[in-house]
Amino acid sequence: MTAEWVFNLYVFVLATFVGYQVISRVPPLLHTPLMSGTNAISGISLVASLIAAGSDHRLSQILGFIAVTCASINVVGGFLITDRMLRMFHKKKPAPLAATPAAKSLAGAKP
Amino acid sequence: MTPTAVLLSLCYVVASALFILCLRGLSGPESARRGLVLGEVGMLIAVVGTLLHKDIVRYDWILGGLVLGSGIGVGISAWIPMTKMPERIAMSHAFGGLASALVGVAEYNRQLGHLSHFEMGALGFEVFLGFLTFTASWMAFGKLQGVITGAPITYKGQNFVNLLMFIGVLVALVYLIIWPENPAVFYALCGAGLIIGITGVLPIGGADMPVVISLNNSYAGLAACATGFALGSQILIISGALDGASGFLLSLLMSKAMNRSFANILFGAFGTDIAPTQQMGTAKAYNEATVEDAGAVLKASQSVIFVPGYGMAVSQAQHAVRDLAASLERRGVDVKYAIHPVAGRMPGHMNVLLAEANVPYDKLFDLDDINDDFARTDAVIIVGANDVVNPAAKKDPASPIYGMPVFNVEQSRSVIVLKRSMNPGFSGVENELFFQPNTMMVLGDAKKTLLSMINELKDGGH
């Protein structure tokens, strides 16, 4: 048991570092999609809700049902709205300026 | 491990990797949509895999929840306008927090009698953070919608009361870890989460909502993480950690862009410490201009920078801004947009609105990238922004926003401010930019003003 929670702590620490590194490369331009995207991903609590809702325990079934509903609102809604936002972002159509500061920061040149 | 359990674990490994790749895609607008598809595939794999879990014995409740939740999710995403994005995000944090909290309550009841100390600790964090996120997010939602006043609500001894409650929570948590078999304490902890979510957000002003939303994002992630620890599920830990890290990073960026510490935002009750004498001041003279005056300035300009703020979202003026920019560009004017990290009510709010209005993103510039350009610019049009263009942040150490990085708009030849009225707004910080000789105040609804400016440019000729 002890070994398992230490292992889980490893997973947590490493995932936090990876998350921090990956997310610090996201430009301010995309901060709203980032937020709704991570929100959809954290809808993974759906997995835990499914297990509660599908159990043989009555209270778990009811609470799990509400949790499944909430989590799937986030998963389905989160991915859909993030996609709707990202579809709106576009560059200027006729050959844009190549080396604007914005283009540089978009390429992830600075943290 | 049974073969099914191995298969399930493998599904989770694949899903976790896909989630990280999904976030990796968000480092640029070109790769973002491709990345998002990877995230969706990951989620599908994780959910379908979970249905094989040995503890799932019936599917009726699951199916009902999935259908209901997906329906609501589709409905909300399809109909919500982009200007309401902060509210939508606040709402989704509330749902996320509630889901984690309810799973925690269910798990406590199911496992009661054979909970280890560690599992109990994780469950305690899970329900406390989950319920806290739930009410705090609805509070943020209420403040954004204007159902609850955007002004900070404070009372004497507030921080002391909050501190006491916080200590109470710690005591309850430690008590439960030692003696898990005490449902009364467990439910008290749930209740404390609900209450602290409310009392914690009350003293925070509407303009600080970007930080509150980012923090709630982080809490919702940590609650999911705690669920993972309680259930021993690595995919929950990983996804929760990603969400937590993202919320934390955004909160840091926001508070840096306001030059304020977390403590100051959470307990500072921004705007209440200004002496009324300073707030009223003497009625200073300002330069009220008509649309025709502003049009004349724009006709004589070669370069124009727009500075949008929350006021643009309120009056839904993003399309009018784009149209004015287009008619300026037709005249050969160089048009750019200056986006402050805390403009609007959530990180990236202005970028999304302007993208919705079809403004190409290579015209949108961050604070650092554009601040030197103002001195070379003929006209700046400020659409409903206030604090982010207040020169007091640079000059007046007595100002509550002193030290916050702001745009050097006052360096441009002329400044056109579109503003509803001369009221300083609830933050009560007076903006001396409005009283400078090269500033023109065009009062009224921003959208209407912009539309009449477009007409002015049309029939005015040269």
Mean pLDDT of A73-99: 81
Q: How confident is the model at residue B246 (pLDDT cuts 50, 70, 90)?
A: very high
Beta-carbon contacts of residue B157 (< 8 Å; ≥ 6 apart): none
pLDDT at A105 over 60: no
Q: Are B357 and B394 in contact (CB under 8 A)?
A: no
Q: Of the candidates B73, B102, B228, which has its C-beta nearest A77's C-beta?
A: B73
Q: How far apart are CA B314 and CA B64, in angstroms?
A: 38
Q: Residues B412, B417, B422, CA angle at the centre, nearest 5°?
A: 135
pLDDT reported for residue B280: 44
Reported ipTM? 0.88
Query: Mutate which of B26, B212, B368 to test chain A, going by most A C-beta atoms within 10 A?
Result: B26
Concatenated DSSP letters of B160-171? HHHHHHHHHHHH
Q: Indicate yes or no: CB of B102 within 8 angstroms of CB of A66.
A: yes
Q: Are B418 and B453 in contact (CB under 8 A)?
A: no
User: Each residue of B98-127: pLDDT tens digit?
Assistant: 999 999 999 999 988 888 899 999 999 999
User: Each residue of B344-400: pLDDT tens digit?
Assistant: 888 999 999 999 999 999 999 999 999 999 999 999 999 989 889 999 888 888 887
Closest residue in A to B99 (Cα–Cα): A67
Extract the tokens encoding B435.
């009283």
Mean pLDDT of A74-102: 76
pLDDT at B283 over 70: no
Extract the tokens encoding B12.
């989770």
Beta-carbon contacts of residue B214 (< 8 Å; ≥ 6 apart): A35, B247, B248, B250, B251, B254, B346, B347
Q: How confident is the model at residue B432 (pLDDT cuts 50, 70, 90)?
A: confident
What are the respective helix, strand and coil percentages of chain B, to the nearest 5?
A: 65, 5, 30
B378 catalytic residue (yes or no): no
Q: Does A24 touch chain B (CB under 8 A)?
A: yes
Q: How far apart are CA B430 and CA A91, in angstroms?
A: 37
Extract the tokens encoding A91.
């560059």
Distances (CA, A) of B409 to A54, B267, B317: 59, 31, 21
User: Each residue of B141-198: pLDDT tens digit?
Assistant: 999 888 887 777 878 777 788 889 989 999 999 999 999 989 999 999 999 999 999 9
User: Each residue of B19-66: pLDDT tens digit?
Assistant: 999 999 999 999 999 999 999 999 999 999 999 888 889 999 999 999
Query: Mutate which of B219, B242, B340 to test chain A, going by most A C-beta atoms within 10 A?
Result: B242
B119: left (phi over 0), alpha (psi -120 to 50) or beta: alpha
Distances (CA, A) of B337 to A45, A111, B15, B327, B345: 39, 21, 38, 15, 18
User: Each residue of B311-352: pLDDT tens digit?
Assistant: 899 889 999 999 999 999 999 999 999 999 988 888 999 999
Extract the tokens encoding B203.
């003293």
**Amino acid in the structure at residue A109:** A
Buried b or exposed e, range B118-137, using 16+ CB within 10 angstroms:
bbbbbbbbbbbbbbbbbbbb
pLDDT reported for residue A16: 96
Q: How far apart are CA B369 and CA A104, in angstroms?
A: 10
Minimum distance, in Å, between the CA of residue A94 and any CA atom of chain B: 11
pLDDT reported for residue B460: 55
pLDDT at B409 over 70: yes
